[in-house]
Homo-oligomer: A and B are copies of this chain.
Amino acid sequence: MTRSPITLTTDFGLGSGYVAEMKGAILSINPAAILVDLTHEIPPQQIAAAAYMLERVSRCFPAETIHVTVVDPGVGTERAIVCLRAREQYFIAPDNGLLTTIAEPTSGLEAVRIENRRYWRDLISATFHGRDIMGPVAAHLSLGVPMSDLGSPQPDITRIPLPTAVVTDARIEGEIIWLDTFGNAVTNVHLDLLPKPPCDSVRVGCGQLELAGIVRTYADATPGTLVALVGSSGRLEIAVVNGNAAERFDLRVGDPVVVMTPPTS
């Protein structure tokens, strides 16, 4: 268990020192903890952005990884903090929708409400439960404390509505769900919804933009070209080769994206 990484996802920004406070709290309990920053640049209080990030990046981590996510506008209120067991990993977060993408909607949920103060810091602030509760609990979990010791079973967790792509015969209606650091616009249209490649006859529309075909990789078109492709998370994205599509075309999260697939004759 000691080799389980603990990942941290927050809206703190790296410059704030708050991330380091969490790390100090964790290392005070498990000096051998393996800490990995997932990201600390979630826009302040943007729960959906964190939920997407967590869903995507957690898949790359080994079994038994402990993911701590702190985007917590309700800190200090009666909102619960939960630990969810899913995909052979642990997810600790305030119960405010952050785990919407992780908790399978239908299955019997394996989760606890974090209540046992034995695994918390001695003094609990009203504004920083990442440092005072979630980090310490993750540290204890990484030392082998069983999840069931953390609190009582939590039958369900809070979910937030996230846009899903709507599929009709020859049309998929989705939207942009995040913009990456390259300015690529990632959509909620998953690979599974698209026809098998090659997708030359597929057309992708986004506002005034219309793209013919889906390329396989960025370098399949010349620099500066606007392309649609399936990115590394298995989602359709709109990109400018060696450029920044979001800036150039003022793309934003929530912009509708339509995929027109040819009739399968």
Q: Is the CB of B181 within 8 A of A217?
A: no
Known contacts: A76-B217, A180-B16. The answer to whether A34 contacts B27 by CB under 8 A is yes
Separation of A53 and B19 alpha carbons in the complex (Å) = 12
A131 interfacial contact with B, CB 8 Å:
yes
With beta carbons under 8 angstroms apart, the residue of B38, B223, B242 that contacts A17 is B38
Residues of B within 8 A of A252 (CB): none
Q: Is the CB of B28 within 8 A of A60?
A: yes
Separation of A218 and B21 alpha carbons in the complex (Å) = 19
Residues of B within 8 A of A73 (CB): 218-219, 223, 242
Known contacts: A14-B14, A57-B21, A219-B73. The answer to whether A127 contacts B38 by CB under 8 A is no
Residues of B within 8 A of A36 (CB): 20, 23-24, 27, 35
A255 interfacial contact with B, CB 8 Å:
no
How many subunits of this chain does the assembly comprise? 3
With beta carbons under 8 angstroms apart, the residue of B40, B53, B60, B219 that contacts A24 is B60
Known contacts: A27-B62, A242-B45. The answer to whether A57 contacts B20 by CB under 8 A is yes
A25 interfacial contact with B, CB 8 Å:
yes
Q: Is the CB of B242 within 8 A of A182?
A: no
A37 interfacial contact with B, CB 8 Å:
yes
The interface of chain A, by Cβ under 8 A from chain B, is: 3, 5, 7, 11-25, 27-28, 31-32, 34-41, 44-45, 53, 56-62, 65, 73-77, 125-128, 131-132, 180-182, 216-220, 223, 229-232, 242, 244
Please, could you name 7 A-B residue pairs with CB atoms under 8 Å apart, sorted by A?
Answer: A3-B32, A7-B24, A17-B56, A22-B60, A24-B57, A28-B60, A75-B218
